[in-house]
Structure 1
Amino acid sequence: MTKCASCNKQWTGMLLFKAHFASENGVECDYCHEKQYVSEKSKKRMIIPLLLVTAMLMIGLFAPPSVTQYFWVYITITAVTIIFMYVSLELTNVPPDKERK
């Protein structure tokens, strides 16, 4: 699971959810109150699973073998993608604009 880059405490699911949507502004750690940002490496790693989910959706729209089969495959891949995103998320103390330089 994801840990704070400052205090090394494990983050809760709600903090991880906030971190995904506030990656540019950062999220304050509940334990050490240090601002944390999603690392660039982590952002790049999340692109592939999101593309996989999008590709599955497009395939299902144009050539569905069966609505029921497609539904369960899509739900399974989406669930695995969300779990992967939360498990592989890396945090850093460095704001995104300073990390690129």
Structure 2
Amino acid sequence: MRRKLSTITNGRQKAFIYTCALVGLTVYGVPKMPPLTHGLSGTFTASWLLFVALCVGANLYFLFGADKERKRLLEEQEVSVASTEEPLHQQRVRA
């Protein structure tokens, strides 16, 4: 089953704005976080930082156009598979 790839309007602009907002949130929030120690507060800090890193990474991935490159590669693969297949009337039936 093929993944649907749709075009998002103003996608790069949105990704840039979201990345800037996340960086601003991080700059504002990190000094107010509890220190990374054992316990509930340290676990919260670590999970919050990992979540922010994941969000920034996803936005940068989209911002640099990795999805467009992947879409192009999938289309090339689909074309090459279609060109190597024989038409239905020329395929041999084996018993």
Bin for the TM-score computed over the shorter chain: 0.3 to 0.5
Structure with the larger strand share: 1
Q: Which has the higher contact order (CA 8 A, sep 6+)?
A: 1
Bigger Cα Rg: 2
Structure with the larger helix share: 2
TM-score, with structure 1 as normaliser: 0.36
TM-score, with structure 2 as normaliser: 0.37
